[in-house]
Amino acid sequence: MHWMIHLRFLSGPDIDELEIGPDDAIAAVESVVAAHGRGETVFEPRTHLVPDNGGVGHFNLLRAHVKGLGVAGVKVVGDFVPNYRHGLPSELAMVTLLDPYTGVPMSIMDATWITEMRTGAMTAVGAKYLARPDSRVLGHVGARGTAFANITLLDRLFPLEEIRVTSRRAESREAFGVRLREVTDTPVRVVETADEVFDGADILVEASRLTEPQPLLRTSLVRPGAFVVPYGTVSAVELDLLDVMDKVVVDDWRESRSGRFGALRAHVDTGRLSEETLYAQLGEIVSGQKPGRESSTERILFWHRGLSILDVALAHLILKRAEAADAGTMLRYR
């Protein structure tokens, strides 16, 4: 007996034409984070493939099953910081969605937008539960693709009066400032140093692209009531940062412990961050099992490394929209 199986290929332009809005992305991420808190997801921590390429970049491999969506998925995403020299994004990704009951592949899609949007949406969902509702000043280090999603989604949720940004390259940060001003009425201030970005900010996001550890986010700049999100691949925070935090929240503790990269890798390796010192996983808060912010003076840190369940949730959203619009290209699998 011969079976004929087709799958839907969705390119970047195919996905762009679906015009999936930021509110849809935030809702999908918040829903799957709550499902994670209820134990309704299955995933393994990411693994890394580091080619013998002179240290210019590596691949992250992520895989997950979300029971409520009836789909499993695998994402491969490259992390190549020097790609700007070639006119390419630093992160290019691809997702394969599969039927968890038969193993049949359902779709292959460009996941570059997914990677950017799910990161910004996770920052936004974390802020929804952990930042002060009256946060006025956002300080953001980093101007890569995920930075745009971080800032624009936070700008939707909070009554911001100022957005401060910087990055290592002057031309990059200036261009980023121009791009932000095109989409927001909130004043955007481009500055030269991380200290200028973070000093007195209510929401502090560190999304740098370091190749070696460097303390860009200094502990002394974190004021009472601040919400801090460090998620660069290489640490850009001081080791005593956690000493001033009232609560430390992660996306998933297993994910936090895995791999050789991550903003708080040194804190985990030295025992400064452990299962005992951790306050919660975000899913526990979103699903109502633990409170989030409980006072206006709490300093709260949220470390998210990028859960595969977020990729699967957004890929599923895209696939359903594409099926309804008959978008993409149907490919013969066998």
Report the CATH number at residue 45.
3.30.1780.10
The confidence score (pLDDT) of residue 259 equals 65
Claim to verify: residue 104 and residue 126 sit in the same structural domain: no
Q: Minimum mean pLDDT among 68-77, 81-90, 175-184, 310-319: which range?
A: 81-90
The confidence score (pLDDT) of residue 308 equals 94
- Burial class from Cβ neighbours inside 10 Å (0-12, 13-18, 19+) for residue 286 reads buried
Instruction: Provide the whole-model pTM.
Output: 0.91
pLDDT by residue (tens digit) across 133-160?
999 999 999 987 789 999 999 999 999 9
Claim to verify: residue 294 and residue 313 sit in the same structural domain: no
Claim to verify: residue 296 and residue 182 sit in the same structural domain: yes
User: Residue 1 pLDDT more than 70?
Assistant: no
Q: Based on the structure, what is the number of domains in the chain?
A: 2
Assess if residue 63 is contained within a domain: yes
List, in sequence order, every residue forming a beta bridge with 237; answer none if it has no partner.
Answer: 217
Is 323 within 8 Å of 135 (Cβ atoms)?
Answer: no
Task: Look up the domain containing 42 and give its range.
Answer: 6-114+309-332
Claim to verify: residue 86 and residue 194 sit in the same structural domain: no
Rounded to whole angstroms, how far apart are CA atoms 27 and 58? 30
DSSP reduced 3-state for 87 = coil
The confidence score (pLDDT) of residue 71 equals 97
Claim to verify: residue 149 and residue 110 sit in the same structural domain: no
Claim to verify: residue 185 and residue 95 sit in the same structural domain: no
DSSP state of 202: S
Report the CATH number at residue 226.
3.40.50.720
The confidence score (pLDDT) of residue 121 equals 96
Is 228 within 8 Å of 299 (Cβ atoms)?
Answer: yes
Assess if residue 1 is contained within a domain: no
DSSP reduced 3-state for 198 = helix
Claim to verify: residue 88 and residue 175 sit in the same structural domain: no
Rounded to whole angstroms, how far apart are CA atoms 256 and 275? 10
Claim to verify: residue 127 and residue 29 sit in the same structural domain: no
Claim to verify: residue 129 and residue 76 sit in the same structural domain: no
pLDDT by residue (tens digit) across 199-254?
999 999 998 876 677 788 899 999 999 999 998 777 778 889 989 999 999 999 98
Claim to verify: residue 125 and residue 42 sit in the same structural domain: no
Claim to verify: residue 160 and residue 70 sit in the same structural domain: no
pLDDT band at 47 (very low <50, low <70, confident <90, very high): confident
The confidence score (pLDDT) of residue 101 equals 95
Strand 203-206 with 137-141, pairing: parallel
Claim to verify: residue 130 and residue 277 sit in the same structural domain: yes
The confidence score (pLDDT) of residue 255 equals 85
Rounded to whole angstroms, how far apart are CA atoms 28 and 26? 5
Greater confidence, 48 or 41?
Answer: 41
- Burial class from Cβ neighbours inside 10 Å (0-12, 13-18, 19+) for residue 190 reads buried
pLDDT band at 8 (very low <50, low <70, confident <90, very high): very high
Is 144 within 8 Å of 91 (Cβ atoms)?
Answer: yes
pLDDT band at 72 (very low <50, low <70, confident <90, very high): very high
Mean predicted confidence (pLDDT) in 282-306? 96
Q: How far is CA 178 from the centre of its chain?
A: 23
